[in-house]
Amino acid sequence: MKTLKEILEGVNFKLINGSDDATINQLQIDSRKVQKGDCFIAIKGTASDGHLFIEKAIQAGATSIICSDVTDQKYEKLNLIQVKNTRDKLADIAANFYEKPSTQLKVWGVTGTNGKTTSSVLLFKLFRRLGLNVGLISTIDIRINEEIIPTQLTTPDAITLQSIFAKMVDAQCDYVFMEVSSHALDQGRVNAIHFDVAAFTNISHDHLDYHKDMKEYIRVKKMFFDRLDKNAIAIINVDDKNGKVMIENSQANIKRYSLRTMVDYKGKIMSQSFLGLHMKINEIEAYFKIVGAYNAYNLLNVVASAEALGLEVEEFMPELSAIDSADGRLERVGTATRSAFVDYAHTPDALINVLETLGQMKKKGEKIITVVGAGGDRDKSKRPKMAKAAARLSDHVILTSDNPRTEDPEQIIRDMEAGLDSELSTKVLKITNRKEAIKTACMLARPQDVILVAGKGHEKYQDINGVKMPFDDKEILKEIFKEL
């Protein structure tokens, strides 16, 4: 338990009613989760305003309220605190409540459009193989050593984040690897986290349903590096033109990686196949079980980051060579005679990367058959680009449903079709039912052909009108291959 005064340390606030010496049990931003003795923090979000639920929070047992707007309503035995902007200060309040756990850990964060999950999962697996106590906060799940905690967001809200860090401290973790999304940066979820190492992968078209345009998207990503202190290390992909932009105002020590130019970590792909990559990183050659040329960048990021955190490359490289990729990232599924690849690619650039990789590795005469959709209630402008990329780089394409959410899946497919000219359209089928689409791809494919099922990767559900129905691309493929 903490007092209001303790959790508001360093935060400018005004006591409207009650006492700031009052103790609280838990912090809550969702009035439905409030229990007796909790402190409810009213946040003005993108979809709703927590100030509208203050009364419900009080009825549920909240004894303290932190808000930005104060009404004339008088409440007896209520501790009422006003701060200028609760959303901006939430991370600081949460960090104080959990005793600033990130300062007791070495925290690595990664931002960018593609590669965040693969980089963070590879680092987690590497450090675990070396016998270290490690935490992971990723799109796939949250892990505290071998404990797995399901997650629905790439970067959880500030209170959840700080509570997870506290659990990691209790579990005697030394390191934490986490993805940092543009939403989290813009909404201040990671404001009170002390990052020792920050990595940048790349930037391409994504999240423009949330950010106004690419300029704003880049500005928000850049905030991550602007806030680093002089003792932090920034790991930057300089082959992406935005890499230099990220570090323009950063105080951090900069380490660069590239496949094109001589920098701190220079990589060269010696060969690649469906089994993995043979790479040279600086003067060290190694074979990796990670598939795809674009993953060479993720491996460079991992090597640079591991060294930045104090590991010796000669010691960890053999372990890194033995690690599989993240769940649902160009993951092979199948039998000895038939197989398919499942990948999370849900942006035009990610889809291009995967399909170009498969095109480089397939043998002459083999065809690529792609099953792909686009998410509902998300950036509509990338839909035609995804269809065009799929059709341009595949021999056959089946447009299908992804996570339609509250949208009509057939309208989403029509939006995707808008990116196809008459020539590309001849390669494309439309099958709204995702299971039927995958089954059709398997029936069209000869045993030697390459099937890609894109868009959902590790996800084990399909979000339809707010209901998450069980659906796993990998399990569907296994079921179909047994029948064929």
Dump pLDDT digits (tens) for 245-274.
999 989 999 999 999 999 999 999 999 998
Tell me which of 154 and 420 has the higher pLDDT. Answer: 420
- Helices 383-393 and 348-361: crossing angle in degrees, nearest 10, is 10
State the pairing for strand pair 106-111/175-179: parallel
Q: Is residue 94 within 8 Å of 69, Cβ to Cβ?
A: no
The pLDDT, as a whole number, for residue 210 is 60
**Residue 221 pLDDT greater than 70, yes or no:** yes
**Residue 214 pLDDT greater than 90, yes or no:** no
- 217 vs 62, 105, 221, 268, 298, CA distance in Å? 37, 29, 6, 30, 21
Distance CA 413, CA 385 (A): 12
Task: Record the pTM.
Answer: 0.89
Tell me which of 473 and 215 has the higher pLDDT. Answer: 473
Residue 470: count of CB within 10 angstroms of its CB? 8
State the pairing for strand pair 265-273/276-281: antiparallel
- Helices 313-321 and 116-129: crossing angle in degrees, nearest 10, is 110
Distance CA 269, CA 277 (A): 7
The pLDDT, as a whole number, for residue 4 is 97
pLDDT in tens, 84-121: 999 999 999 999 999 999 999 999 999 998 999 999 99
Lowest mean pLDDT: which of 278-292, 334-348, 376-390, 405-419? 334-348
Q: Is residue 198 within 8 Å of 174, Cβ to Cβ?
A: no
Helical (H) or strand (E) element with 296: helix 295-308
Q: How does residue 48 score in pLDDT terms, banded at 50, 70 and 90?
A: confident
Average pLDDT over residues 397-406: 97
Q: Which two tokens stand for residue 244?
A: 């230099």
User: Which CATH code, of 3.30.9.10, 3.40.30.10, 3.30.70.260, 3.40.1190.10, is assigned to 101-321?
Assistant: 3.40.1190.10
Distance CA 382, CA 346 (A): 9
Q: What CATH homologous superfamily does 331-483 map to?
A: Mur ligase, C-terminal domain (3.90.190.20)
The pLDDT, as a whole number, for residue 46 is 73
Average pLDDT over residues 63-79: 87
**Residue 386 pLDDT greater than 90, yes or no:** yes
Distance CA 43, CA 59 (A): 18
The pLDDT, as a whole number, for residue 325 is 87
What residues does each domain of the chain span?
2-97, 101-321, 331-483
Mean pLDDT for all residues in the chain: 94
Q: Which CATH code for domain 2-97?
A: 3.40.1390.10
Average pLDDT over residues 201-223: 79
Domain 2-97 and domain 331-483 have a common topology: no
Longest dimension (CA), the chain: 78
Distance CA 66, CA 397 (A): 52
Task: For 246-376, list the strands marked E by DSSP.
Answer: 253-258, 265-273, 276-281, 284-288, 331-334, 339-343, 368-372
Tell me which of 367 and 215 has the higher pLDDT. Answer: 367
**Residue 1 pLDDT greater than 90, yes or no:** no
The pLDDT, as a whole number, for residue 274 is 87
**Residue 209 pLDDT greater than 70, yes or no:** no
